[in-house]
Homo-oligomer: A and B are copies of this chain.
Amino acid sequence: MKKVVTFGEIMLRLSTDRHLRFSQANNFTATYGGGEFNVAVSLANYGLEAEFVTRLPDNDLGRTALMEIKKRNVQANNVAIGGDRLGVYFLETGAGTRGSKVVYDRADSAMATIQPGTIDWEKVFKDTAVFHWSGVTPAVSQDAADVCLEAVKVASKMGVFITSDLNYRSKLWQYGKEPKDIMPELLSYSNVILGDLDTAFFMSGEPTVEPDYQKKETLPELYNKLFTLYPKLEKVATTLRYSISASHQQIGGILYDGKELFSAVVKDVTPVVDRVGSGDAFMGGLIYGLLNKEYTPQQAVDFAVAACCLKHTVSGDINLVTIEEVEKLMQGDASGKVAR
């Protein structure tokens, strides 16, 4: 089967252990992650051929990030080398009524300073079935946005199926542009969009909407507007998240194909080991589900929700689970029995 390509930033994540606050931490656990990389790892874990495209600095941290990509069975044949630093983010893991806290330190990273022309996208997309990008990349810098646009244009021209995660981060978008200046053109090439309806309208520069996900019958009208805005769009999905506390989440999901709306049963997630990357786990599950010819759309969204739930039990950004584990939960077995 053809491969799936994702493009974005991979960062060094430095997290405190045992729910310690930053001022208590005498060491940080080091892992590597980033939205689009996380999606690639999910797909590699599900047995798909996956490639991650990014730019890494020529120093020990960049080289270690590259090793982590390879370790997770994700191809790295088109990773550009250059720039001054690897993006870093610091994570303080919350619990109960205290939320997790992120301190970003990713300005001027190798990825943020990538230049158009750096990546040979025609080479990248040879034998590619799907290209996935997210709204984090164009939020980082004009350069990154430009390269993202390069990518979707080539992908689209080469007939690659394009999936996008809106991934709005209000702390980013600091380079003088707003989402509405950048995202509509990028999204115009998308075949699948993942995101909340209000975010989708906001990033598209459309008037605000306040969807009520409990009233499912009201949703198609809103989703349909996105189909109007983005003519290549085939499917829209939304992750539903109800946050009881930092340690207790409820996760559901919706998939709409322009005609029918598929809604997954909301599942309880408690305790939360690590919720960072759970949206990416949903996205990875959704891509897998849509590519799996034996799945119905309902099964695709069910798989995405189950994958998202399981991610909350895995430390780090990436979702280290197997198809068997996701399907077991997707079929309703949340018992967590010991296999022995």
Contact = CB atoms under 8 A, between A and B. Distances in A.
Interface of A: 14, 17-31, 59-61, 63-64, 67-68, 70-73, 84-85, 88, 90, 92, 94-105, 107-108, 169, 171, 243-248, 267-273, 275-276, 309-310, 312-316, 320-321, 325, 329, 334-340
A100 B325 CA distance: 12
B60 A315 contact: no
Given A18-B315, A98-B314, A103 B329 contact: no
A61 B104 CA distance: 11
Contacts of A270: 96, 245, 247-248
A161 to B, nearest CB: 27
B273 A338 contact: no
A17 B19 CA distance: 12
A80 to B, nearest CB: 17
Contact of A315 (B20, B100, B272, B312): B20
Nearest to A170: B340
B17 A98 contact: no
A91 to B, nearest CB: 9
A105 B85 contact: yes
A105 B88 CA distance: 10
Given A90-B61, A107-B84, A270-B247, A313 B97 contact: yes
Chain copies in the assembly?
6
Contacts of A64: 22-23, 25
A248 B334 CA distance: 11
A241 to B, nearest CB: 9
A257 to B, nearest CB: 27
A313 to B, nearest CB: 4
Nearest to A247: B271
Given A27-B28, A60-B90, A273 B73 contact: no
B336 A100 contact: yes
Contact of A30 (B18, B27, B275, B310): B27
Nearest to A17: B18
Given A19-B315, A97-B334, 18 more contacts: A17-B18, A19-B273, A21-B314, A25-B64, A60-B103, A70-B70, A85-B105, A85-B107, A88-B88, A95-B313, A96-B336, A98-B313, A98-B314, A99-B336, A102-B340, A108-B108, A171-B340, A245-B334
Contacts of A60: 21-23, 90, 92, 101, 103
B29 A338 contact: no
B22 A61 contact: yes
Contact of A169 (B19, B103, B169, B340): B340
Contact of A243 (B29, B104, B337): B337
A338 B102 contact: yes
A71 B85 CA distance: 21
16 contacts: A21-B60, A25-B30, A60-B90, A61-B103, A84-B107, A94-B313, A96-B336, A97-B269, A98-B310, A99-B335, A100-B336, A102-B340, A169-B340, A244-B335, A245-B335, A247-B271
Contacts of A310: 97-98
- Taking each of A30, A92, A275, which has the highest tally of chain B beta carbons within 10 Å of its own beta carbon? A30
